[in-house]
Every structure is written in structure tokens, then in C-alpha cells.
Amino acid sequence: MAKPTPTLPQPVEGAQAFGHALGEIWKSMSGLKLPADRINQVQSDYLKQATELWNDTLTRMNSGLATAAAAAGDAAANPAGTLAALRDRRFAATEWAKSPAAAYIAQTYLLNARTLMQMAEAVEGDAKTKARLRFAVQQWIDAAAPSNCLPLNPEALRKAIDSQGESIATGLRQLWNDVRQGHVSQTDESAFEVGRNVATSEGAVVYENEFFQLLEYKPLTAKVYERPMLFVPPCINKFYILDLQPENSLIRYSVEQGHRTFVMSWRNPDASLAAKTWDDYIEHGALTAIAAVQDITGADTFDMLGFCVGGTILSTALAVLAARGEQPAASLTLLTTLLDFSDTGVLDLFVDEAAVQLRELTLGEAAPAGPKLLKGQELATTFSFLRPNDLVWNYVVGNYLKGEAPPPFDLLYWNSDSTNLPGPMYCWYLRHTYLQDELKVPGKLTVCGEQIDLGRIEAPVYVYGSREDHIVPWTSAFQSLKILSGPKRFVLGASGHIAGVINPPAKKKRSHWIGSTDPVPASADDWFADAQEHPGSWWTDWSAWLAQHAGKQVAAPKSYGSRTHKVIEPAPGRYVKQKA
């Protein structure tokens, strides 16, 4: 007796409808052109693959091999390669392979996704328009995954049955909690507290104004280098990404290497700072911090490090000082920093004249109701949707459909601890760097009353880029070498914007590349072609380089601050605890 065939969507009519719909969608989009021969080819390929998928599914069900082959991932018995598609981690659970209907839905979704991206790639237009189209299509594809929908997710349904509905109830409670807090939970935020189990390096606040607190850390060695170290972190995040846990803290590592370490902790702006400008952040932020370190330590020159936007701020401040005839940097380290904004990767998709003008009219000095804050959650959401499957839908499925609480993870706790930005400051940065790429042009910009030229910074520079960085492409970080004039070293680390930077040697993870920069190669690719890969963290290479510029060893100070800069409160201070 023949086995009954489960009810599945009829493929031919569905595939034809989808194929014709694709053509109509693209025809209706003004300004976009897709060659007719390309439309026909994509539609033909789609119908062929959809038919093969359907026939393969029917054959397996009727032969009784579907469940076994799917569970085993038997690619050899699957010449069309359809079951191999379930290796996509969204469909990796055995429930997807065990159910012929679920497997068919997942495979059809992946086929549709590939087809949509093929059509997006084939559209005729300028590079930015095509990139925006690809991004928009990818966002839609990721959102439309059947794994994101409870009735179509067999893993979530099985969990609901096994838990007698408790997983759904838990998911609804977690959804309501996230609605109240205003963002999707990526970790168990109750497991962490700033100053208790993150940002725990011992130190004190030795200076503060309305923009930042200056932290000095307790020496861990009997002697320290005579030239101190100042860290300038990004103001779009909290500083403690550099001090998550003792075992992965770059701040603690710096102290352990014998550097008297100071760190800026930017204030999380409230309405009282909504009108502050880029000049304010340079003058009352980085320039004031440099002067405070000089006053506390008596060192005219010292080592400085800027991370991401902090590196852009620090470099701008040093260019202002260079215009005033001052060279306080004994060395300059830039971590995943942009000075050349000609290629900003995926972020470029969000920036054009219309978008910047809209920001200026709603947040900046030209706003009818006055300047406003750019809310931290808006920034956090934007960055999350640069990697939606990893940072959004993964948690939607886990938190809400399966009712699973996300595990504690210090980095994701930091990632959810968002910060506001003053509208005018943000708008200036957006226009003059991302849109007009003027920071690298000598004399083009006036900051704090000075025409700035980054090339006048004389300090030796250590530039670090992360190979898989989607926020600061490493090839763009490399371009800093062509802007700065001092002796240069460039190091490329594995992984991304954060994980590549926060890579302590003890973990023995990842690798880094070192190549010659004397002279600076014509392109980043030329540099990489001759670079040598080294196992493990780049921190040890940086430490050895930094020691060459830190001066002689002297007795470590026995107290924080100085007579003119008394201790205000213990580190990490109250500014970092302010919520957006």
C-alpha cells in the first residue's frame, strides 16, 4: 500500500507565481534597470531548481528515506544538494530535517533568498545604489526566514509541546520585559553590574568636567615607565569594553606591562549636553584630558591610544595642538580607527546629502525646536541590524519562540549599554567625515579655531585593523598610514571590530599579520601580500613597540592624582554608570 504523501504547497504554480512576481517587483521600482535576458535567466533557473527541489522531496518521502537522509545529512544521496542547504545554522536542529514539510519550507526559503540576491546583483545602477539595494534585500530576506515564525519553526513547536506550553509563556514574559526596556536582550543583563563584575580594575577618578571623567589605575608593578599612557575610547560606547574582566582587559594588560595608565570615561549625555558640538568634544574632552595627564604626571610628552571614534577624536585633538606648535604625543596608537572616510563599508549606505540634512534639521543646530540628543538605542539598533541574524533574529527566536533566557556574556552586556550623543556633535561628524571626507585634507577643516592638518602630528604611530571589521574596514584603517607623517607600524588582527581588538595573549586565540611599512605600500592589498601571519594576540607586538617609546623605568607612584588633582571617587566612576 502506498504511503500517504504529506500535504505541501504545490511547487509549479507557486514557483511560477514567485518568478513572475519578481519581474513585476523590479519593473515597478523607478530608477532601477534589470536586463531582460537576466530576468529570464534568473526566472528559468528558479523554476528549474524549485521543480528539482519538489521532485527530490517527493522521491524521499515516497521511498521512506527523507527522515534518515536528512538527519544524517546524507549529501552523497542528494545529487541536487537540497538537503545540504539545511546546514544553514538557522535550520541546523534535527527537527527541521526530520519533518519533510519543514525541510521543504526551509529549502524553498533558501532558494527564494538566493534568487532575490541574484536579481539584486544584476540590477544596473551606480555602486552605492546597488549596495543599498543588496542591503535592503538582505534585511528583508533575514526577517522573512521561516525560523523566525513560531508556526513554521518545528524546533520551537517541539519545545512548546515538550514543555506543555511553558516555553511560549516564558517567551511572552521575556518579550514583554524587552518591550519595557526598549531593546532585545542579548544576554542576561541582571548578571552584570559595572564596578562589581565588569570594569573592576582598581583605580580612581582624578579629574572630571561635564564631558568626561579621567581615571587613573593602580600600578601593578614596582616600577613604571616614565611616560604615562592615555586611553581615549569611543564616545558612542562605554569605555569598559577595554576592561570587561581581568583576563581580557586591555587596561589591566597595559598596567601589568608597567604603564601608568589613564583612561577617559565619557559622560552619557543628557538634555543639558544636547547642544554640544564636535569642537566641545575636542576642546573640553581630549585636549583637556591631555593637559590633565601632563599636569598630574609632569610629563610633557606621553603615549596615547585611541579606539574607533576615540582615535578620530584623539587624532583631531593632536592636529589642533600641532597647529598651536605643540607635540605632546610620544607615540600614537590607533585601534580600528578611520581618518580616511573614502570607504566606510556598510555604514556608507546610510549616509548621503539628504540623510545628513535630515539629521541636521531634526537633531542639529538648525532644528526648529533646538538641538536634540541622538538616542543611544537608535545607534545600538542600527549597529545590530548590520548583522541581523547574529544580533537580532537569533535572540528573537531564542528569547521569544523558544523561551530560552540568553546566557550571561560580558561583551554583549556592554553592547546593550548604549550611549546618547549631542545632535550638533553627531551632525558635524557625519557631514565632515562620512559624507564629505574632509578630515584627511590638510587645512580643510577648522577645529577649535585652528586649521588642522593630521600630517603635522609627528609622533610614531601604531595602526591596528581587524580583518573582518564591518564598521571600520581594515583597508580603510590602513589608509591612515598615508595621512600621518611619523614612523609607522601596521598590524592586522583576525576577527572583527571588537573581538579582534579584545584578544588577550593568554587565550592563545586567532592570529595577526605584520608587514613592512617603510615605505608605505601603495595599497593595503600590496601590504598584505608580503605580510607574515603570526599566531595569537597582537597585544604582545604592541607592548614591545610601545616600550620603545615609553622612556626609562621609574618608581611607581604610591597615590593617585596630584596636589592639584585630588581623588574624586573610586574607579570606574559614576559617569560610566549613567544609562541612556
Known catalytic residues are 308
For residue 572, whether the previous peptide bond is cis, meaning omega lies within 30 degrees of 0, is: yes
Residue type at 115? Answer: T
Give CA–CA dist 265/268, Å, rounded: 9
Q: What are residue 124's phi and psi, to 5 degrees?
A: -90, 135
Distances (CA, A) of 529 to 12, 112, 473, 496, 533: 49, 38, 17, 20, 11
- The identity of residue 382, as a single letter, is T
- Written as nine digits, the cell of 563 is 596636589
Residue 205 sits at φ, ψ, to 5 deg, of: -85, 125
Taking alpha carbons only, the member of 484, 422, 56 closest to residue 275 is 422
463: left (phi over 0), alpha (psi -120 to 50) or beta: beta
My answer on whether omega of the bond before 519 falls inside 30° of 0, hence cis, is yes
Cα distance between the two ends of the chain: 66
Contacts of 323 (CB under 8 A, 6+ apart): 450, 451, 452, 453, 456
Count CB atoms within 10 A of the CB of residue 66: 23
Q: Which of 234, 212, 206 has the alpha carbon at shortest distance from 284?
A: 212
User: Side chain identity at 144, as an amino acid letter?
Assistant: A
How many angstroms separate the Cα of 32 from the Cα of each of 36, 125, 135, 283, 391?
13, 7, 15, 46, 31
